[in-house]
Amino acid sequence: MATPWYQDGLRFACQRSGVCCTGEPGLVWLAEDEAEQLAGRLGLDGPAFRRRYTLTAWKDGVARLVLRDRPGKRGHECMLWDGQGCSLYQDRPRQCRTWPFWRRLVASPQAWAEAALECPGIGQGPLHAAHTITTIAADDGLPGKGV
């Protein structure tokens, strides 16, 4: 395998800014097992959770679940954002767990630098090893090519 541009690792530590949970409208993709887990945490059955918390979005011709968002103080915010942080942080979807080591963001130094303009945690904190980043990016929770 080719040596990645981030062979010396990348720094990231969440600053709890909320910029990845609020602001521009976005899609948080949910796998079936993630939807079940979140429903359980909220004390809802699957259909009730889907009705209240999700919408269907299409990707590569496949219908998938996404979390709803709502108007908020900073534009839009994820329905699970409580104003301080993620209300179900321990069970947040894979897409949220793997931020910012998404395939498309670690694809090039330019993509990483653009993400850093939005996220104050990029470039902060511990150095994450290249092999760890590659492993995370390969299963980042985003459908298709991760865009």
Among 10, 39, 96, 105, binds ligand SF4 (CB under 6 A): 96
Under DSSP, the state recorded for 90 is G
Does position 80 bind ligand SF4 by CB under 6 A?
yes
Alpha carbons 34 and 60: distance in angstroms, whole number: 20
Sequence-ordered list of residues with C-beta below 8 angstroms from that of 125, at least 6 positions apart, any chain: 11, 12, 13
Does position 78 bind ligand SF4 by CB under 6 A?
yes
Percent helix / strand / coil, the chain, rounded to 5: 30, 25, 45
Alpha carbons 101 and 103: distance in angstroms, whole number: 7
Does position 65 bind ligand SF4 by CB under 6 A?
no
- The residue range among 75-83, 106-114, 130-138, 139-147 that interacts with ligand SF4, by the rule CB under 6 A, is 75-83
Does position 66 bind ligand SF4 by CB under 6 A?
no
Among 6, 10, 12, 21, binds ligand SF4 (CB under 6 A): 21
Chain contacts with ligand SF4 (rule: CB under 6 A):
21, 28, 67, 78, 80-81, 86, 92-93, 96
